[in-house]
Amino acid sequence: MRISRFSSFVQPPANQAQAATQNTPRQGRRHLLGAAVSCAVVALALGLPTSPAQAQGAAGYPSKPIRVIVPFPPGGGGDVLARLVLTRVGRELGQAMVIENMAGAGGNIGTLAAARSAPDGYTLAYGTNGTHGINQTLYKNPGFDAVKDFEPVSQFTRIAAMVVVRPDFAAKTMPELLSLVRKNPGKYTFASAGNGTTSHLAGEILKSTAGLQMLHVPYRGGALAITDVIGGQVDMLIDVMPNTAPQVRGGKLRGLAVSTASRVASMPDLPTIAESGVPGFDVSAWDGLFVPAGTPAPIVATLNEAVRKALADPELKKQLADRGAEVAPGSPAELGQFVKAEIARWGAAVKSSGASTD
| CATH code, domain with 240 | 3.40.190.10
Flag whether 52 is in a domain. no
Whether residue 145 is found in the same domain as residue 290: yes
123 φ, ψ (degrees, to nearest 5): -135, 115
Flag whether 249 is in a domain. yes
Which contacts qualify for 74-81: CB closer than 8 Å, 24 or more apart? 74/101, 76/221, 76/222, 76/223, 76/243, 77/222, 77/240, 77/242, 77/243, 77/323, 78/126, 78/128, 78/242, 78/287, 80/242, 80/323, 81/156, 81/157, 81/159, 81/242, 81/287, 81/320, 81/323, 81/325
CATH code, domain carrying 337: 3.40.190.150
The total of structural domains in the chain comes to: 2
Residue that terminates a domain, selected from 276, 306, 323? 276
Q: Which of 141, 130, 197 is nearest to 343 (CA)?
A: 130
Whether residue 165 is found in the same domain as residue 268: yes
Whether residue 128 is found in the same domain as residue 214: no
Q: What residue numbers bound the domain in which 82 lies?
A: 66-158+286-353
Whether residue 165 is found in the same domain as residue 148: no
Flag whether 20 is in a domain. no
Whether residue 141 is found in the same domain as residue 125: yes
Flag whether 314 is in a domain. yes
Whether residue 187 is found in the same domain as residue 198: yes
Whether residue 304 is found in the same domain as residue 197: no
pTM: 0.78
In a structure prediction context, what are the per-residue pLDDT tens digits for the chain, which is 358 residues long? Answer: 332 232 222 233 333 333 333 343 444 444 433 444 344 443 433 344 444 444 444 679 999 999 999 999 898 888 999 999 999 999 999 999 999 999 999 899 999 999 999 999 999 999 999 999 999 999 999 999 999 999 999 999 999 999 999 999 999 999 999 999 999 999 999 999 989 999 999 999 999 999 999 999 999 888 899 999 999 999 999 999 988 999 999 999 999 999 999 999 899 999 999 999 999 999 999 999 999 999 999 999 999 999 999 999 999 999 999 888 999 999 999 999 999 999 999 999 999 888 877 6
